[in-house]
């Protein structure tokens, strides 16, 4: 019992003296683990604009090799909150793209970044979700309703392989064709 009190006193003295080491946030520990286990597919690159020490903020570049956006290069800004993995990362598309699930301000509509987020999901899951979103846009859960309408009503006219990551609006003929389909 005496040992317990002396141990408590020692810890109190250390805390008062400030000699204890700084506590690492649990989110950062999880990010270190996620990054150590991360395997990037061909066409994906990570960049750390604030230096490699800041794992909580990075940019992901996806080069589409197939699908509607083939040959496009898309950059996403990923901000991981300190409450990670309990809160999902925030993702913004920095490349202007005409996409049903990405609005013109770069907000991304991906279910695992919203209601389907679970703490067991990792950064690898987020990257794979973004890759799939570029490969197979989902017009049934749109953020950009105009692009979703073009994709569903004029599916044959929606440019295949012609959007290179710089397309901010659909070609003019699509407006006429979609209006005709309605």
- Going by C-alpha positions, the residue among 97, 174, 175, 181 that lies closest to residue 143 is 97
Q: Rounded to an integer, what distance in angstroms lies between the CA atom of residue 77 and that of residue 126?
A: 12
More confident of the two residues 68 and 11: 68
Q: Which two three-digit tokens encode residue 110?
A: 């991906």
The residue whose two tokens read 């006219």 is 157
CA distance linking residue 22 with residue 65, whole number of Å: 45
The strand order across the sheet containing 73-79 reads: 44-47, 57-63, 73-79, 90-93
pTM exceeds 0.85: no
Which positions are annotated as active-site residues? 109
Q: What are phi and psi of 135, to 5 degrees?
A: -70, -45
Dist. CA 77–CA 79, nearest whole Å: 7
Mean pLDDT of the chain: 83
Domains of the chain: 25-155 (3.10.110.10)
In degrees, rounded to 5, the angle at the alpha carbon of residue 125 between the alpha carbons of residues 115 and 111 is: 25
pLDDT, tens digit, 9 for 90 and up, residues 118-165: 999 999 999 999 999 999 999 998 999 999 988 888 666 555 544 444
Within a 13 Å sphere around the CA of 31, how many CA atoms are in the beta-carbon half?
22
pLDDT tens digits for range 43-76? 999 999 999 999 999 999 999 998 888 899 999 9
């Amino acid at each position: 019992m005496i040992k317990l009190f002396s141990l408590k006193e020692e810890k109190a003295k250390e805390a008062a003296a400030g000699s204890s080491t700084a506590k690492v946030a649990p989110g950062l520990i999880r990010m270190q683990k996620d990054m150590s286990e991360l395997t990037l597919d061909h066409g994906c690159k990570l960049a750390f604009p604030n230096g490699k020490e800041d794992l909580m903020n990075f940019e992901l570049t996806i080069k589409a090799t197939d699908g509607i956006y083939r040959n496009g290069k898309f950059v996403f800004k990923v901000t991981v909150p300190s409450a990670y993995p309990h809160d999902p990362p925030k993702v913004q598309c920095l490349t202007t793209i005409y996409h049903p699930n990405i609005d013109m301000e770069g907000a991304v509509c991906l279910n695992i970044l919203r209601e389907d987020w679970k703490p067991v999901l990792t950064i690898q899951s987020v990257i794979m979700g973004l890759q799939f979103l570029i490969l197979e846009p989902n017009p049934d859960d749109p953020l950009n309703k105009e692009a979703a309408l073009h994709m569903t009503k004029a599916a044959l006219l929606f440019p295949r392989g012609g959007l290179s990551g710089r397309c901010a609006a659909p070609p003019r003929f699509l407006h006429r064709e979609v209006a005709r389909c309605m």
